[in-house]
Amino acid sequence: MRPVMLFVRTLALSLALSSAALADEVVLRNGSSFTGLVREEGDRIVVEMDFGTMTFKKVDVRSVSKGNDPYSEFETRSKAATDIKGMLELAGWARGKGLGTKAMELYRRILTLDPDQADARKALGYEKFNGQWLTNDELMMARGFVKVNGRWLTKEMAQRLLAQDELARQENDRIELAKRIADQRHEQEMTRIALERLDSERPDRWWWKYGWAYGASPFCGPAGYLLPALPPAGSLPLTPPSVLPLGQPSTLPPGRSR
């Protein structure tokens, strides 16, 4: 797979720079070749091309063929291109030599001199619509398209898609709300069950049922004390549990007295 990808990359570079035959050429030991402005930096060979720079180790380079530098020739030609016609010719020459970035810079410079220059506008991707030069998103919007989720759609399709998205959002909100309500109800039910279990495990004594109360300290002291709260009237028998009614036999063990 790697040799195939290397061949494809080499072929693409060769096609992009096929017209720059007079530039420097670097041939690698694996047979790949690159053209551009070549210079040496220590143990490396640097190739400057219009779309970027590539660096190779000298041990990987088979040969370097020096030719006329298209970059230097472009700089020489640009000094003579002082009018729009000369700039257009130089931009066309630069594109033919693989100097696309230089050509785009020239076209933008031409538009500063003549904003309505058709060749420069078209080279930069503009299209005239209703008397205005538009490009990319502006042109699509002028034609009545709407961009939704990265796609250009007609207004009808966009409205239909947005309506479907809104319905889906509402349904998701409804499901989330129902889930939250169910979770809250489950939590409340589990709390109720836990409280009922706790009440069933406590002794059936009135101080567990009615809690504790604060009593003032004797002799008007600064501190008080806690004591069981009194139950409501009628909730306890009048006779203390330790006092038996007359005539009822004692339940104490033999030999114990009250």
Of the pLDDT bands very low, low, confident and very high (cuts 50, 70, 90), residue 104 is: very high
Of 76-80, 207-211, 224-228, give the range with the top mean pLDDT.
76-80
Angle (nearest 5°) at CA 86 between 97 and 36? 20
| Dihedral (CA of 122, 125, 127, 131) sign | negative
The stretch 236-256 carries a mean pLDDT of 51
Q: Which of 90, 111, 119, 118 is nearest to 102 (CA)?
A: 90
Helix axes 70-80, 84-96, angle to 10 degrees: 170
Token digits of residue 160: 């239909």
Instruction: Please return the burial class of 107, using the count of CB atoms within 10 Å of its CB with bins 0-12, 13-18 and 19+.
Output: buried
CA distance 70 to 50: 10
Largest CA distance in the chain: 138
Q: Is the pTM of this model over 0.95?
A: no
**pLDDT score at 177:** 92
Answer whether residue 93 shows pLDDT above 80.
yes
CA distance 53 to 76: 22
**pLDDT score at 113:** 92
**pLDDT score at 151:** 79
Comparing 105-109, 172-176, 198-202, the range with the smallest average pLDDT is 198-202
The stretch 130-149 carries a mean pLDDT of 81
Answer whether residue 240 shows pLDDT above 70.
no
Of the pLDDT bands very low, low, confident and very high (cuts 50, 70, 90), residue 203 is: low
Of the pLDDT bands very low, low, confident and very high (cuts 50, 70, 90), residue 1 is: very low
Token digits of residue 216: 């003032």
**pLDDT score at 211:** 54
Token digits of residue 48: 């400057």
Of the pLDDT bands very low, low, confident and very high (cuts 50, 70, 90), residue 88 is: very high
Helix axes 84-96, 100-113, angle to 10 degrees: 160
Q: Which of 243, 225, 231 is nearest to 205 (CA)?
A: 231
- State the average pLDDT for the chain: 75
Instruction: Please enumerate in sequence order all residues whose Cβ is within 8 A of that of 70, keeping only pairs 6 or more positions apart, or say none.
Output: 20, 22, 23, 37, 97, 98, 99
**pLDDT score at 19:** 40
Pairing of strands 24-28, 33-41: antiparallel
First to last CA, the chain: 104
